[in-house]
Amino acid sequence: MGSSPSLRELIEYLARGLVDHPEEVVVEEVDEPDALVLELKVAEQDLGKVIGKQGRTAKALRTVLSAASSKTRRRVLLEILE
């Protein structure tokens, strides 16, 4: 799919702006039958920064991803891996 690399890059870019160790940000695409899953990995000490208080930052990342992926007509999910 043509737009999926840009969705991955978008999440990578946003996550790098949030963390103290941007070099450790990795986003991998997992193609599932019903959705595209983006798996976000960050340094252990940065986990709280991408999740945020009460999950607000993670929710905001998912909202941006949802808006950006609306043209793909496919579900795109963000998973933050520990």
Indicate which CATH number applies to the domain containing 37.
3.30.300.20
For residue 31, report the phi and psi dihedrals to the nearest 5 degrees: -85, 115
Which residues sit opposite 61 in a β-bridge? none
Q: What is the pLDDT of residues 15-25, one digit of tens each?
A: 999 999 999 99
pTM for the model stands at: 0.89
CA dihedral 27, 30, 36, 42 (to 10 degrees): -20
| Domains: count for the chain | 1
Q: What is the pLDDT of residues 40-60, one digit of tens each?
A: 999 999 999 999 999 999 999
* More confident call, 72 vs 11: 11
Cβ atoms < 10 Å from Cβ of 23:
8
Residue type, 47: L
Q: Which domain holds residue 47?
A: 4-81
